[in-house]
Amino acid sequence: MSGYWTGILTILSINIIMAYAVFLPVATGQLNLGGAGFQALGAYTAAFLSAAFGLNAWVTIPAAMAVGGLVSMAIAFPLLRTKGVYLVLATFALAEVIAGVILNTDALGGAMGLSVPDFLDYHVPLIAAVLVTLFVFYLMATRFGLTMRAAHDDDVVTDLLGVSVRGVRVAAFSLGGALAGLAGALYAHTFSFVDIQSFNASLSIYVLLYVLLGGTQTAFGPLFGAAFFTLLPEGLRVVMPELKTFIAAAFHQSGPLSPPDESWRFVILGVLTVLMMAFRPEGLITRSLIERLKPGRRTKRLDVAQEVSA
- Please return the burial class of 140, using the count of CB atoms within 10 Å of its CB with bins 0-12, 13-18 and 19+: middle
Query: Residues 178-207: what's their mean pLDDT?
Result: 94
Does residue 120 come out as left (phi exceeding 0), alpha (psi in the -120 to 50 range) or beta? Answer: beta
Q: Write the pLDDT tens digit of every residue in 196-206.
A: 999 998 899 99
Which residue, among 24, 54, 41, 82, has the nearest Cα to 188 in the 3D structure? Answer: 41
Query: Residues 38-62: what's their mean pLDDT?
Result: 95
- The confidence band for 5, taking pLDDT boundaries of 50, 70 and 90, is confident
220 within 8 A of 285, measured Cβ to Cβ: yes
Query: Residues 185-195: what's their mean pLDDT?
Result: 95
- The confidence band for 303, taking pLDDT boundaries of 50, 70 and 90, is low
CA-CA distance, 75 to 64, in Å (whole number)?
17
Mean pLDDT, rounded, of the chain: 86
Three-state DSSP at 18 gives: helix
Which residue, among 137, 145, 77, 147, has the nearest Cα to 285 in the 3D structure? Answer: 137
Asked whether the predicted pLDDT for residue 129 surpasses 90, the reply is yes
Residue 308 has a pLDDT of 44
Lowest-confidence region among 126-130, 179-183, 263-267, 270-274: 263-267
Asked whether the predicted pLDDT for residue 126 surpasses 50, the reply is yes
151 within 8 A of 169, measured Cβ to Cβ: yes
pTM of the model: 0.89
> CA-based angle 63:49:92, to the nearest 5?
65
Which residue, among 48, 53, 55, 8, has the nearest Cα to 184 in the 3D structure? Answer: 48
CA-CA distance, 28 to 305, in Å (whole number)?
38
- Percent of the chain scoring above 90 in pLDDT: 54
Name the amino acid, one letter, at 27. Answer: A
Residue 234 has a pLDDT of 80
Enumerate residues 6+ apart whose C-beta is below 8 A from 77. Answer: 170
Q: Write the pLDDT tens digit of every residue in 92-118.
A: 999 999 999 999 998 898 889 999 999
Q: Where are the beta strands (DSSP E) in 12-157?
A: 114-115
End-to-end alpha carbon distance in the chain: 57
Alpha-carbon torsion, ordered 135, 137, 141, 142, to 10 deg: 20
Residue 302 has a pLDDT of 46
Name the amino acid, one letter, at 203. Answer: L
Q: Write the pLDDT tens digit of every residue in 243-287.
A: 667 666 666 666 565 655 666 777 887 888 888 888 888 888 888
The length of the chain, given as a count of residues: 310
